[in-house]
Amino acid sequence: MLRSCLVCLGLLAVVENPSKCGGGLIASEPADGGDAGSARAPGGQSVVSGAGSGAAPVAVPVAGPAGASTGPGLVTLASGQVCPWGMAIDATNVYWTTCGDPTGGAVMKVPKAGGQPIALATGDRLSGIAVDGTNVYWIAGSEDASTGAVMKVPVNGGLATTLTPRPGPPAHIAVDDTSVYWTEMMEGAVMKVALGGGTPALVASANSPWAIAVDATSVYWLGNGVMKAAKGGGPAITLASPPPILPNAGIAVDGTNVYWSSGPPGASSGVSKVPLDGGTPTLVAEVMSTVPGPIAVDDANIYYADGSGMVLKVPLAGGAVTTIASGQTNPDAIAVDATSVYWVDNGSTVMKFTPK
């Protein structure tokens, strides 16, 4: 999973096992022989696509009928996705990126209640994604991974807009009511730009920053430890100092703590927490795999996944670990709302478990 994530971002040049990114490339033209410039996907399924300023919509494959149950409480919201990577949710929909390997990625959307997925935008080497009440924001790259961009598109579809071009491939992304924040692993920076676009600003210089989260005052990320900086910019503050954490580790924040997942060679394999202002880290739960995965929190539990293909939860204070799902293929992103847990499975599906 680690190698596949880096390949999709262009940080490694070759794929040792292409099936890790969903088994192939997204088709650049309809499989039914239709017009590649039309706004229809293979099999006649509709897309709402905005590949860039003035660009014609590009057909991309989307799932067939959604909502098929694969176990008690477990529902498939979308299938047939190629390298689903990032995920975000709002009150009614689930959004995700299919990364493109290296071309043909898409920004996708499906109702939480189930329905027909649609593509909101297309691009190359898509990765992190975030959403607010108006727009979906994501990271895009170029086919040769030489450049990148921070993009947005309205949640109901429309013209995709470049907020700022970037050198190299940015990675993860977060959003608040004024700005979009992202990490640049190769450039060694945590950056931000206004929601409307403009000149990007440096939040902090950083050693290999990867996963990112924000609260009302600060930006948090994983890199050479668990790090924090003021949203307005300033020095990076170390909250916890494990060795460098594997890039597919996750981070989340609430009003009290920062939570993260980690594994060898970065640190003890597990889910940990540390107070927002720093202190002694606490190992909340061990994980069954040496490959850490994504993480999300609500007011009672931590939800996480790892390289064993399991999706789990544990109380914020620690305690018994509950298995939500097993037999998944490299879950790469996870989110939670008041009733359900959602994740993208790198094997090609978008999943939901209710009740959480």
Of 60 and 353, which is predicted with more confidence?
A: 353
Looking at 171-185, 235-249, 328-342, which range is the least confident one?
235-249
Q: Within 83-205, where are the H helices? A: none
Residue 352 phi/psi, 5-degree rounding, is -140, 140
CB burial of 255-273 (b: ≥16 within 10 Å; e: otherwise) equals eebbbbbbbeebbebbbbb
pLDDT in tens, 163-210: 999 987 788 999 999 999 999 988 899 999 999 999 999 999 998 899
pLDDT tops 70 at residue 318: yes
Of 234 and 57, which is predicted with more confidence?
A: 234
Cis bond before residue 61 (omega within 30° of 0): no
Q: Which residue has tokens 């978008």?
A: 350
Residue 172: CB atoms within 10 Å? 27
pLDDT tops 90 at residue 288: no
Contact residues for 154 (Cβ-Cβ < 8 A; gap 6+): 120, 134, 135, 136
Which of 229, 300, 293 is CA-nearest to residue 263? 293
Looking at 13-22, 123-132, 142-151, 153-162, which range is the least confident one?
13-22
pLDDT in tens, 1-49: 443 444 444 443 322 233 333 332 222 222 222 322 222 222 222 333 3
pLDDT tops 70 at residue 67: no
Q: How far apart are CA 232 and CA 331, in angstroms?
A: 33
Q: How far apart are CA 54 and CA 300, in angstroms?
A: 46
pLDDT confidence of residue 142: 81
| pLDDT, mean over the chain | 80
Of 286 and 57, which is predicted with more confidence?
A: 286
pLDDT in tens, 130-145: 999 999 999 998 877 7
CB of 233 closer than 8 Å to CB of 200: no
Q: Which residue has tokens 């996708």?
A: 108
The DSSP annotation for 203-254 comes to: EEE-SS---EEE-SSEEEEEESEEEEEETT----EEEE-PSPPPTT--EEE-
Residue at 315: amino acid letter: P
Q: How far apart are CA 8 and CA 229, in angstroms?
A: 28
The whole model's pTM is what?
0.82
H-helix or E-strand containing 176? none
pLDDT confidence of residue 171: 81
Residue 288: CB atoms within 10 Å? 16
